[in-house]
Amino acid sequence: HRFAEGDTFTLIICAKDEDGGETCRSEVLPVSLLEQLEDEGLLPGFNLLAAISALGIIGILRRRTH
């Protein structure tokens, strides 16, 4: 997958706990960095972004329960 040069990719992670509390965090990643990582074989498509998102959500939820 290729993006237009100079663009960014915004990753937004939100988590909601059982008490109704919710928090979101966003990170802006330059597309050039994502393409470089993908070209070097360090970013196997967007599966890695999904994994990072899941880990972020787990981290947020663990912090809220402890």
Amino acid at residue number 1? H
pLDDT above 70: percentage of residues in the chain:
68
Q: At a CB cut-off of 8 Å and minimum separation 6, what does 35 contact?
A: 2, 3
User: For 4-36, what is each residue's pLDDT tens digit?
Assistant: 655 777 888 888 888 888 888 888 878 777 677
Phi, psi of 8 (to 5 degrees): -125, 160
Domain count, the chain: 1
What are the tokens at 14?
């939100």
- Kindly report the pTM of this predicted structure: 0.41
pLDDT score for 7: 78
pLDDT score for 66: 55
pLDDT score for 46: 61
Which residues sit opposite 9 in a β-bridge?
29
pLDDT score for 5: 59
Residue 1 maps to a domain: no
Answer for the pair 31, 10: CB distance below 8 angstroms, yes or no: no
Distance CA 11, CA 19 (A): 25
Give the domain range for residue 34: 8-65
Residue 3 maps to a domain: no
Residue 36 maps to a domain: yes
